[in-house]
Amino acid sequence: MTATTEATGGPVVAQQTAGGMPAHHIAIFAGLLVLLIAAPFFFYPIFIMKILCFALFACAFNLLLGYGGLLSFGHAAYFGMASYVCAHAAKVWGLTPELAIICGTLVAGVLGFLIGSLAIRRQGIYFAMITLAFAQMVYFFSLQAEFTGGEDGIQAVPRGHLFGLIDLRSQESLYFLVLAIAFAGILLIYRIIHSPFGQVLKAIRENEPRAISLGYRVNRYKLAVFVLSATLAGLAGATKAIVFQLASLTDVYWTMSGEVVLMTLLGGMGTVFGPIVGAAVIVTMQNYLATFGAWVTIIQGLIFVVSVMLFREGIVGVISKWTRKPL
Amino acid sequence: MSDGVILAAENLTKEFKGFFAVEDVNLSVRRGQIHALIGPNGAGKTTCFNLLTKFLSPTRGKITYKGDDITSMSSADIARLGLVRSFQISAVFPHLTALENVRIALQRKRGDSFDFWRSQKVLSAFDDEARALLADVGLSEFETVNASDLSYGRKRALEIATTLALNPEMLLLDEPMAGMAQEDVERISALIKRISANRTILMVEHNLSVVASLSDTITVLARGKVLAEGDYATVSKDERVIEAYIGAGHG
């Protein structure tokens, strides 16, 4: 046991000199898709949809933490607020689900812009604290505001008809909509990471003063990735509201911000597939260990401690190290 | 504005709660020269550098670059004018490959890269140029190696290649030889000499033999103030400089 395994400890970065998606990434994405198309025949579809929503949420968070190097401790604000707005739009305004989801997502983006433009002025722990403080304000707002339904939340959200045509009360239709949203979202994040923008983002994460000295106005890049991350977290939250037909305080509470950090670190921060694995593991644990009641939190905490002690790079990070392939 | 001066500082001062790290420094760097900033530890050399590139804001004083006042500009905007600095500790992007490191700088030619929807394939347009720059500093065979895995001397060479990728008119090098093995010192010295051909260089350096062999002008700082200025022969004979370096009572 060495305490100093890799002093720098940075995340594994996809090395793509020529550009384009490397073959093993295409294979993994294709495999995931096949698996997920087959999954509802073997597992409870709502359970898989929950994993998909959280996988997207964690990937959005990882975009900010793993690639932007910014630890937000208030991502529940975007996830939860989008969930409320989507639920409200579907239930009260009677919008079709896709429009309701878009409303929620956009509101999360705007909220991300407002909070982000203030938070990015500070670094490290101060950044985390500012995002947490704002998220707590959003929580308080959600508790007090009329449209959120306070302690009750917004219940019995209608799933409606997609584009006014496809009845989402059908489990299969809903499942494939959620699969499409999550997959498209994750692929978009993949593209962001592997874009010219993503390249600058990594440079800023790796060495901010150097990026500045090369003439990059780093705060604009940080704000851009913050807004992208908040928007995609919102997409996940809004989708979840349609799936569970519910928007509640749980999704906007600070423990939700903590949970997404946990998923990302457990799966592997700064890896493409880590957050998906992290989300799947945590959601599965919460579902199957639900009978233990409050003990779930303790078991979750222990797993987190063990993972940080034994494999700091996260599940996928470790696999990536073994196989010497960026995942 | 005297002729041929590219970068000038007037009464540059930085005060940290009553302590003057840099006090009333006047500096004129002439176009095309290699200008060295030397002085004992704590003389304010690096602070001076940080002020000139706006990584620190001066308490008072004025900085002009090519006749324009840049005192209130941001660091990134100063870099965009062609005044590019290096850092004391090697400034590479550790988890990017050598090629990617250089490409980050070349990518600046596109202007801002906010296009997150586009594949990074568009960046391969810069690959040939990046390879040429790597070849220039002797790093051709390392283009796919992560910068973190390069030796110290090679990291510095990579840093220079990255800086050169911006084709800056003026370079500010903060201790380019710090912590380097002797053979690396010679290699980097030769490289600095070569790249100075059509550029202006201002460097902070402790290695006096490097300073002696490379610089046209030397400014000696001590306790935040300019002690002496001139070529090596002049400066090295200056009583006050000898005293500041060796201490009084050695003569």
Confidence (pLDDT) at A24: 92
Sequence spans of domains, chain B:
5-246
Predicted TM-score of the model (pTM): 0.88
Q: Is B98 on the interface with A (CB under 8 A)?
A: no
How many Cβ atoms sit within 10 Å of the Cβ of residue B77?
15
Which residue of B lies nearest to A12 if distances are taken between CA atoms? B95
Confidence (pLDDT) at A300: 81
How many residue pairs from chains A and B have C-beta atoms closer than 8 A?
Answer: 132
Which residue of A lies nearest to B103 if distances are taken between CA atoms? A199
pLDDT tens readout for residues A122-172: 988 999 999 999 999 999 999 999 899 888 899 999 998 899 888 888 888
Q: Which helix (H) or strand (E) holds B14?
A: strand B5-16
Determine the number of helices (DSSP H) and then strands (DSSP E) in chain B: 9, 10
The residue-averaged pLDDT of A246-269 equals 94
List b or e across B119-147, with b for residues whose CB sees 16 or more CB atoms inside 10 angstroms.
bbeebbebbeebbebbebbebeebbebbb
Interchain proximity B93–A206, CB inside 8 Å: yes
pLDDT tens readout for residues A174-228: 999 999 999 999 999 999 999 999 999 999 999 999 999 999 999 999 999 999 9
Q: Is B111 on the interface with A (CB under 8 A)?
A: no
Q: Which of A8, A207, A228 sits opposite B116 (nearest CB)?
A: A228
- What percent of chain A clears pLDDT 90, i.e. is strictly above it? 73
The ranges of chain B with pLDDT < 50 are 1-2, 249-251
Chain B contact set for A10 (CB, 8 A) = 94-95, 148
Residues in B 152-171 with any Cβ partner in A closer than 8 A: 162, 166
* Per-residue confidence band for A10, with pLDDT thresholds at 50, 70 and 90: very low
Residues in B 5-24 with any Cβ partner in A closer than 8 A: none
* Per-residue confidence band for A278, with pLDDT thresholds at 50, 70 and 90: very high
* CA–CA gap between residue A257 and residue A64 (Å, rounded): 13
Q: Identify whether the C-beta of residue A76 lies closer than 8 Å to the C-beta of residue A251.
A: yes
SS3 B203: strand
Could you tell me which CATH number the domain at B5-246 has? 3.40.50.300
Chain B contact set for A212 (CB, 8 A) = 55, 75-76, 79
Interchain proximity A198–B116, CB inside 8 Å: yes
ipTM of the complex: 0.85
